[in-house]
Amino acid sequence: MPVLRALLVTPLVITLLGLGTASLPSEPHLTPAASYLPRLVVQGDAPAAALLVRTSASGAHDAYRSTGPGIRYADRFRAGSITKTFVAAVVLQLAHEGRLRLADPVDRFLPGLIRGHGNDGRRITLRALLSHTSGLYDYTDVPSAHPVSATAAIRTATDHRPATRLGRYAYSNTDYVVLGLIVQHVTGHGYATEIRRRIIAPLHLTGTSLPGARTTLPAPHGRAYAREAAGGGLSDVTDLDPRTAGAAGELISTLTDLNRFYSALLAGRLLAPVQLAALLNTAAAHGNYGLGIFPQRLSCGVTVWGHNGRIAGSYVRAAATRDGRHTLTYRIDTDTLADAGTLEPGLLEAEFCPA
């Protein structure tokens, strides 16, 4: 499953606190996934977990639950690779405006940037970047590399041969770092400015931001932890340099904002029909991935669309029905969820396929 790998760790060890539950006083009903949530702490070894479910366009029937201490409803947190869906939406809006085409090669905008060791920006299209079929090596696979600029991240990637052949799906954070530079070339503004103007402001995502070089989280926020090893201690990694993630994963958001974003995106409020169809077309990635979003088919036949995000101290998963009317976002305050291959599908099944 796509992730943005944990990039920075701060060596401050803490102890795991006790188990508890919390909900909003105005909550109108108990969401089916709520009973599953404590497993993320007990079985998944997360310090705390929270989820928010939206079942109406207005958010009038939002249902919130948290388990464990330290997570509150309004908290800001790092959303990692969910940034990619925002970037993809901006690129598709630019395509609708005729300012670029998905079939354009990278070299049309960034001539000569992707060269060497078998990498060639003349052959890689924007669609290949959006669908992770470019073959570009993932710069976060180099543990010693902590690039703080997009060009440095791309240079780290192109110092390696392609991870796979062009046209084959292989998730790579490098793809979206390149897209961030293309947005800047086309618009004259950084991708963060375009996301704010085109998505954050129109949807009133008041808890969502792109921090740039700011290492701290905006208030209110809890703490973020990295586990040193399975069963080991926790380190506080709340403060980190998000430039290492950039357009691949720097976003900060809230549960409410992410549900609102995916609901609006899938309902067609951000993209014209042609671009929305392109967003959800998984043919290029052989069913694994659309353009900045991926499907997950559940046992009851329902397919949910969304993305996950992992960055040091945070793991997030957002999922929604195709019409955007039913959305769920959950988060934990660490980047490691034990038994994630069982727990996450189980939580989605509980919500979207209730008995």
Hey, which residues are catalytic here? 81
CB atoms closer than 10 angstroms to residue 215: 12
Q: Closest Cα partner for 131 from 77, 184, 88, 191?
A: 88
Written as one string, the DSSP assignment of 49-85 is EEEEEE-STTSTT-EEEEESSS--TT--EE-GGGHHH
Distance of CA 201 to the CA centre of its chain: 19
The secondary structure of the chain in percent helix, strand, coil, rounded to multiples of 5, reads 30, 15, 50
Q: Return the structure tokens found at 121.
A: 């920006």
Query: DSSP letter string over 130-180?
Result: HTT-S----GGG-TT---SSHHHHHHHHHTS--SS-TTS----HHHHHHHH
Query: What span, in angstroms and rounded, lies between the C-alpha atoms of 249 and 247?
Result: 6
Maximum distance among all Cα pairs of the chain, rounded to whole angstroms: 58
| Pair of tokens at residue 167 | 């046209």
Query: b vs e for 311-349, b when ≥16 Cβ sit within 10 Å of the residue's Cβ?
Result: bbbbbbbbbbbeebebbbbbbbbbbbbeebeebbebbbb
What is the Cα–Cα distance from 84 to 292, expressed in whole angstroms? 5
Rounded Cα distance between 182 and 141, Å, is 23
Q: DSSP characters for 98-144?
A: TS--TT-BGGGTSTTSSEETTEETTT-BHHHHHTT-S----GGG-TT
Where are the alpha helices (H) located in 201-295, listed in sequence order?
201-203, 255-266, 273-279
Which one-letter amino acid corresponds to residue 318?
Answer: A
